[in-house]
Structure 1
């Protein structure tokens, strides 16, 4: 469905609800077509929806496939603006291993080749493989894709229900991430990504002094092994005697058996005490990094011209909908309100389905009983 035109002065760079004609606005990738692993896309509202026509989005149609789909728009720069990238995702099945993120970047020369090697500005959204779960937020800087130092929370646990992902990138070099209207991160690009070289580095000319003591504990020089300390675990059984019928020629030379030593006290070790000469952990002193260059335009990209889904999924059936790139929060909020209405329906339907499954299980147990 098409979105209403924005008010004058408000920039909506891209908006898509996958209504009539969406195929003309999006181009499927053929990046993995030659090796037979390229997945296909279909239109679906999923098994739970409020209004089937309104709630349809594009869905990954198979399992164990690569999926690529992109849409272009008029190139723009986010210089001096708050940029909002927002979309909706619904995992109809547990993905097991794969992503549900978007990539946004400069204008594509050939959308059919869109895939993992394609340069992008920002990658944003959920990613999971086994126990590794996170919401990706990757920024490209000087040709390098840089992950956040620590992972963002993964919220795509409620399989079968929709979630809305929002990134706000600000001119003060901060970013904010909201999932389902809840803030899960707000912080600095300079501090939370290694986009810039470190301000300080360890002095390569600083060496640890030869008399530096970095052992915090030492053997107690006054601790001595007690007289009579027995460390032999086994001894020859002094009470054993050679059997009367033992034949040395046939049985070999007789040896008394070995038994546990009743006097054994264990292996003795010297007591450990604090080392009075300990100076602590040594590390080289820090000096200014000659390669450090500050950049107050980390947030800025000269060219945004496409948005796309470039995914590997072990389990498909993920539905994407209500995509928007804008600098006005009210425009993005309108899609959040739409998600809220859908989410209520989905949660009620999921709860009802779970109750029915429980009733069916009870009936099965009773019939077997």
Structure 2
């Protein structure tokens, strides 16, 4: 069997990137792909999604996203992937989308979920209790509680594991790009606006594995172990009469009021004040303990239950088939756009260049212009409310 040069080159070339989902929300056809969960919450609890280009959009009026539109509401929405992602193929898994908090968000989630379920996935019941493989994206509540959630499902533990270290997020009114990659070598990386903000191994950053070492159950602190660094000085004794000193004494500077009547007011007593000679409860001086051995450290031994898991990355071991938003927002106004699920970081970055980065600078210019215009309008309104200087002089002058 003969190989042609083209066939040999094809064997050496990397496999083409797979795109499992892509959504830009630019026309009304998005409603055919996405389903609002009718059985998750009551109609009065669920907020409505609006389809809009938003304010100061760098992509123009035809570039649209979906926006939370009602305050203090739950928001749910899911869509099937165009092709299931299966971790058994040992491919990178990349999840990327954009978030824009036009409302100056005070408290609310803006994360995306990658979901297993296959043919059994019920979009009408999708909600907070629905199992997920990945929960990723910003969550903000107050000025100090701001983070990018990275939560991965452990198949071995059957638990959702939150990343141990904090991953910052953006909370201004501009669009920001969030990207997560999970690799089959059990590493991960998070990008915000295509800048790496957190990376590492899954076993270091998540509790996928039991600890490598545990305290030796057969060891305990010896009964004669002394870990008190200081002890009371046995030669220090309480001064005689120390307890006789009262905490308060009659105010020596107080005098009986001239209008005090003993018959009507009772016998006059001066008010009490802190006694300057009172030193509080007596305590002996502390000295170094001559028997001190230092803190006792429990001996550690290898954990017999520790076993490295080669498949920590396999969050979609049973196939991920859907994607969805399941949120609560106090103040609505967040716009989501430009979602992609792929097995190639390069493909995701290419999509970001075609969307997020293409609009980013124009959006900032429009935002700055809108901000400047609003400040000028507010200044003009304040000046209009101020009384005229000449009129003030006339009204406030001397009578004639």
Tell me if TM exceeds 0.5: yes
Question: Deviation digits for residues 107-153 of structure 1, max 9, x if unmatched?
Answer: 35211211111111111000122232110000011321111112211
Q: CA deviation at 1:266?
A: 1.5
Contact persistence 2:342–2:348 (CA under 8 A) = yes
The answer to which of 284-293 and 258-267 deviates more is 258-267
Q: TM-score, normalised by structure 2?
A: 0.80
Give the Cα separation in 2 of the matches to 1:177 and 1:144.
21
Contact persistence 1:237–1:256 (CA under 8 A) = no
Count of paired positions: 357
Contact persistence 1:66–1:312 (CA under 8 A) = yes
Q: 1:124 aligns with which of 119, 136, 140?
A: 136
Q: Does residue 84 in structure 1 map to residue 94 in structure 2? A: yes
> 1:10 maps to which residue?
17
Contact persistence 2:58–2:366 (CA under 8 A) = no
What does 1:45-64 align with in structure 2 at a 5 Å threshold?
Answer: 45-64=53-72
Contact persistence 1:124–1:138 (CA under 8 A) = yes
Q: Which runs of 5+ in 1 are unaligned?
A: 1-6, 241-245
**CA gap 1:327/1:226 in 2 versus in 1, 3 angstroms:** same
Q: CA deviation at 1:218?
A: 1.9
Please give the secondary structure, in 2, of the residue aligned with 1:10: coil
The answer to which of 224-233 and 324-333 deviates more is 224-233
Q: TM-score, normalised by structure 1?
A: 0.86
Question: Deviation digits for residues 77-117 of structure 1, max 9, x if unmatched?
Answer: 13422211101111111332221111002135211211111
What does 1:307-322 align with in structure 2 at a 5 Å threshold?
Answer: 307-322=323-338
Q: Which runs of 5+ in 2 are unaligned?
A: 1-13, 255-259, 388-400
Give the Cα separation in 2 of the matches to 1:28 and 1:126.
21
Q: CA deviation at 1:235?
A: 5.3
Q: 2:84 aligns with which of 52, 58, 75?
A: 75
Contact persistence 1:234–1:258 (CA under 8 A) = no
> 1:32 maps to which residue?
40
Query: Which protein has the bigger helix share?
Result: 2
> 1:162 maps to which residue?
175
> 1:3 maps to which residue?
none
Contact persistence 2:147–2:166 (CA under 8 A) = yes
Q: CA deviation at 1:365?
A: 3.7
**CA gap 1:62/1:277 in 2 versus in 1, 3 angstroms:** same
CA RMSD of aligned residues (A): 3.1
> 1:274 maps to which residue?
288
**CA gap 1:116/1:235 in 2 versus in 1, 3 angstroms:** closer
